[in-house]
């Protein structure tokens, strides 16, 4: 039985509390998501801080612990809970040092020994005769000793014997009864009927890259010489530069064979001209489907070499997985029942009026053969994981069943617990939150549409507050092949620098799509967020060293992020008041690392303001001089007091990233 286990380090998962009325009440366990329906998330090496209301009737004391089961382990661990101010609110923690899905819960029981010892101390302070109380304690210790093993049982019995030894000095007997080590050795319930256990909750522990990373998106087919289709080898030659810019993840849109039937032409023309390369999201041809590579990119062996080359440079390759098929995909011929079949026998293509996607057949995830189809989709992830891919950007997951994602994410991460899934979902908040709760490790955000101070503050306060931080990890892309926001279309080079600075310092995870560093901002037409000559439908050759690029900004910000722990976590964001709302200021903080970011959100005009520095929360006295070092420019200033002047001309400098420190 659980109470017989020594100390609290090997709680048996087979023991359950008795089904009798509970002796102790456990309520309001935290942290949990939706009452425990969904897992919370942490990164490897973190500590989970837990708490709960624990109490019982009467005046007797209670004891409690948090129990936890790492993935794949046969036995539970445990750590004690204690209270600080409120005797009914108990707190504890445990370290998470293994990737995967953990379980945890709270156990509590009547603390017989603690109650006895507390009464003994009161009687001693009152000057009462406690010799009979020592005999009561001895009987209690004998009961505990019967549950224990080995040397622990021997020590407890020895103390029980001393308490009954009336010839021993009373002071020695009292000292043994009150010794702290004794309380630790008899920590636990006396019988299973006394044990109350909360429901068990789930915790996903991810590797660090799930919570801190910089992403760079590129199309491999555009990496060749002008006019020529690029290959994996061409992409590999670009990796050293991407690594030098400080990125961690290189994200590739679908690399699979592209269908010929209804292939899209340049600028999304419904008809492809000879030589048009089509959309990579029109997946599948006679060359294969989701587990094949486009022949013009190279072979599967070439892809494996790209993954190895990236790894050697400290990069990882992320793949786009889009569960949809071109009319030429092998699944269409082999499993036509996996799709939406009209009464006339034709298969329905994807449509989002007024947009039509004639080159795409959506999968029917609720078809009669759904088990085989779901397994096939799972096996796509497993296939690429076997080829070294551990990060997947999933296209439009909100258009597929939530039940599928809950199942498939667990299936894949059970085999490969270091896998990171990014949800590319731009939809209503509840849907985006639901996907994160179901297990997606990262999520796209509305960041691209939040450009002014009020909306940025409101949105990031939501993202950095509970309950969002328990399950939602925002990946703030500045742009995507689908999204060129109006702000970037009209702001010129300063606007791109503003958005880069915001993305890199507001979120620990951010990304840019290739061309952002060249300040590409021309839409296909006024009022559209689509790029002109979109790379989704054609090859785009870029000179990444073209005049006016902001690569230096990118490299510097990525270096600053790596060197400052305050920029590597999510919840530590505090917005700071400024006199002018067009200048946004915020604090990011970690032990011995105070960062203050000030950004001029207007890319066209110079603005100035007073910034209210939260000195009290930085540990700086009101009259004390302190240093602010601008990590972007290298300049250093001595400030004094809470209010300080800042002037930002976007033609020269769009913002500051100050490291704040007390003067030596």
Peptide bond into 542 cis (omega under 30): no
Are the beta carbons of 622 and 635 closer than 8 angstroms?
Answer: no
Confidence grade of residue 14 (pLDDT, cut at 50, 70, 90): very low
> How far is it, in rounded angstroms, from Cα 551 to Cα 242?
10
Sorted by sequence, the CB contacts under 8 Å of residue 305 that are 6+ apart come out as: 232, 233, 236
State how far the Cα of 416 lies from the Cα of 418, in Å rounded to an integer.
5
Residue 658 reports pLDDT greater than 90 = yes
User: How far is residue 408's CA from residue 382's CA, in Å, rounded to a whole number?
Assistant: 10
Question: CA–CA separation, 90 vs 26, rounded Å?
Answer: 10
- Predicted confidence band of residue 10 (pLDDT cuts 50, 70, 90): very low
From 206, 213, 209, 215, select the one nearest 418 (Cα to Cα).
Answer: 206
CB 549 within 8 A of CB 518: yes
Residues 139-181 have pLDDT tens digits of: 999 999 998 999 999 999 999 999 999 999 999 999 999 998 9
For residues 479 and 448, give the distance between their C-alpha atoms in angstroms, rounded to a whole number: 7
**According to CATH, where is 3.20.20.80 located in the chain?**
207-323+369-567
Q: How confident is the model at residue 17 (pLDDT cuts 50, 70, 90)?
A: low
Q: Looking at residue 7, what is its pLDDT?
A: 34
CATH code for the structural domain at 207-323+369-567: 3.20.20.80
Q: pLDDT digit string (tens) for 433-447?
A: 999 999 999 999 999
What's the topology of domain 2-205?
Immunoglobulin-like (2.60.40)
Kindly tell me if the per-residue pLDDT of 22 is higher than 60.
yes
- Please identify which of the residues 5, 248, 316, 424 carries the catalytic annotation: 424
Mean pLDDT of 84-89: 92
Q: Are 268 and 537 in contact (CB under 8 A)?
A: yes
* Alpha-helix residue ranges (DSSP H) falling in 126-168: 131-147, 150-164
57 is catalytic: no
* pLDDT average, residue stretch 492-506: 98
Does the structure show a pLDDT above 80 at 458?
yes
Evaluate if residue 547 carries a pLDDT over 90. yes
Q: Where in the chain is the domain with CATH 2.60.40.1180?
A: 573-662
pLDDT at 19: 64
Fold of 573-662: Immunoglobulin-like (2.60.40)
The token pair that represents 203 in the structure block:
């915790």
Residue 21 pLDDT: 81
- Place 357 in a pLDDT band, splitting at 50, 70 and 90: confident
Convert the pLDDT of each residue in 550-607 to its tens digit.
999 999 999 999 999 999 999 999 999 999 999 999 999 999 999 999 999 999 999 9
pLDDT, position 40:
97
663, pLDDT greater than 90: no
Q: Could you give the CA distance from residue 13 to residue 331 in angstroms, rounded to a whole number?
A: 44
Token code pair at residue 221: 């087919």
Render pLDDT for 287-332 as a digit per residue (tens, 0 to 9): 999 999 999 999 999 999 999 999 999 999 999 999 999 999 999 9
pLDDT score recorded for residue 43: 96
SS3 134: helix
pLDDT at 20: 73
Among candidate residues 107, 395, 594, 602, the one labeled active-site is: 395
Per-residue confidence (pLDDT) for residue 86, from 0 to 100: 93
Peptide bond into 605 cis (omega under 30): no
- DSSP conformation class of 523: B
In this predicted structure, what is the pLDDT of residue 485?
97
User: What are the residue ranges of CATH 2.60.40.10 in the chain?
Assistant: 2-205
Instruction: Quote the percentage of the chain above a pLDDT of 90.
Output: 91
652 is catalytic: no
Q: State pLDDT tens for residues 223-282.
A: 999 999 999 999 999 999 999 999 999 999 999 999 999 999 999 999 999 999 999 999
Residue-wise pLDDT tens digits, 187-196: 889 888 899 9
Sorted by sequence, the CB contacts under 8 Å of residue 408 that are 6+ apart come out as: 374, 377, 378, 381
pLDDT bin (cut points 50, 70, 90) of residue 2 is: very low
pLDDT of residue 6: 29
Query: Residue 30: helix, strand or coil by DSSP?
Result: strand
The DSSP result for 369-417, as a single string, is THHHHHHHHHHHHHHHHHTT--EEEEE-GGGS-HHHHHHHHHHHHHH-T
Report residue 121 as tokens. Answer: 């101390």
Say how far apart CA 42 and CA 303 lie, in whole Å: 31
């Amino acid at each position: 039985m659980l109470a017989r286990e020594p100390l609290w380090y090997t709680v048996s998962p087979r023991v359950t509390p008795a089904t009798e009325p509970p002796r102790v009440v456990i309520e309001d366990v935290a942290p949990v998501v939706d009452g425990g329906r969904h897992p919370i998330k942490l990164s490897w090496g973190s500590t989970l801080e837990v708490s709960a209301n624990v109490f019982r009737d009467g005046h007797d004391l209670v004891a409690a612990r948090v129990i936890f089961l790492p993935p794949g382990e046969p036995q539970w661990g445990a750590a004690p809970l204690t209270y600080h101010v409120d005797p009914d609110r108990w707190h504890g923690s445990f370290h998470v040092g293994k990737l995967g899905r953990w379980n945890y819960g709270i156990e509590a029981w009547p603390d017989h020994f603690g109650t006895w010892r507390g009464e003994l101390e009161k009687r001693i302070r009152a000057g009462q005769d406690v010799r009979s109380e020592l005999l009561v304690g001895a009987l209690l210790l004998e009961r505990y000793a019967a549950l224990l093993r080995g040397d622990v049982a021997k020590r407890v019995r020895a103390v029980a014997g001393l308490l009954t030894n009336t010839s021993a000095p009373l002071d020695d007997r009292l000292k043994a009864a009150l010794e702290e080590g004794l309380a630790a050795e008899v920590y636990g319930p006396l019988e299973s009927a006394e044990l109350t256990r909360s429901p068990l909750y789930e915790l996903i522990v991810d590797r660090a890259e799930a919570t801190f990373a910089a992403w760079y998106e590129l199309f491999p087919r555009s990496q060749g010489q002008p006019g020529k289709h690029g290959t994996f080898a061409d992409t590999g030659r670009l990796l050293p530069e991407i690594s030098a810019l400080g990125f961690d993840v290189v994200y590739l849109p679908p690399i699979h064979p592209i269908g010929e039937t209804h292939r899209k032409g340049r600028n999304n023309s419904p008809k492809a001209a000879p030589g048009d390369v089509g959309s990579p999201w029109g997946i599948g041809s006679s060359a294969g489907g989701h587990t094949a590579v486009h022949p013009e990119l190279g072979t599967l062996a070439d892809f494996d070499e790209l993954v190895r080359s990236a790894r050697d440079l400290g990069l990882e390759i992320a793949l786009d997985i889009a569960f949809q098929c071109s009319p030429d995909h092998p699944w269409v011929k082999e499993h036509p029942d996996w799709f939406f079949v009209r009464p006339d026998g034709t298969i329905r293509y994807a449509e989002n009026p007024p947009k039509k996607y004639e080159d795409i057949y959506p999968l029917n995830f609720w078809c009669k053969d759904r088990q085989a189809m779901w397994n096939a989709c799972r096996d796509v992830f497993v296939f690429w994981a076997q080829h070294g891919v551990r990060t997947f950007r999933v296209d439009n997951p909100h258009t597929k069943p939530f039940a599928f994602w809950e199942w498939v994410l667990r299936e894949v991460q059970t085999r490969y617990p270091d896998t990171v899934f990014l949800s590319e979902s731009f939809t209503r908040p509840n849907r985006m939150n639901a996907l994160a709760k179901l297990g997606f490790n990262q999520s796209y955000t509305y960041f691209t549409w939040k450009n002014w101070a009020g909306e940025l503050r409101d949105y990031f306060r939501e993202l950095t507050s509970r309950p969002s931080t328990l399950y939602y990890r925002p990946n703030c892309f500045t742009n995507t092949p689908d999204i060129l926001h109006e702000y970037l279309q009209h702001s010129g080079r300063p606007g791109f620098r503003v958005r880069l600075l915001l993305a890199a310092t507001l979120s620990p995870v951010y990304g840019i799509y290739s061309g952002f560093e060249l300040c590409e901002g021309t839409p296909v037409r006024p009022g559209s967020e689509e790029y002109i000559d979109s790379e989704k439908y054609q090859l785009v050759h870029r000179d990444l060293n073209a005049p006016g690029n902001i690569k230096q900004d990118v490299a510097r910000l990525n270096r600053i992020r790596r060197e400052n722990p305050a920029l590597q976590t999510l919840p530590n964001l505090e917005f700071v008041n400024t006199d002018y709302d067009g200048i946004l200021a915020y604090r990011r903080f970690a032990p011995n690392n105070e960062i203050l970011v000030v950004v001029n959100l207007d890319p066209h005009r110079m603005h100035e303001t007073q910034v209210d520095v939260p000195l009290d929360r930085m540990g700086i006295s009101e009259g004390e001089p302190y240093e602010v070092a601008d990590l972007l420019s290298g300049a250093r200033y001595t400030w004094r007091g809470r209010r300080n002047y800042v002037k930002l001309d976007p033609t020269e400098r769009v913002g500051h990233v100050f490291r704040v420190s007390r003067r030596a």
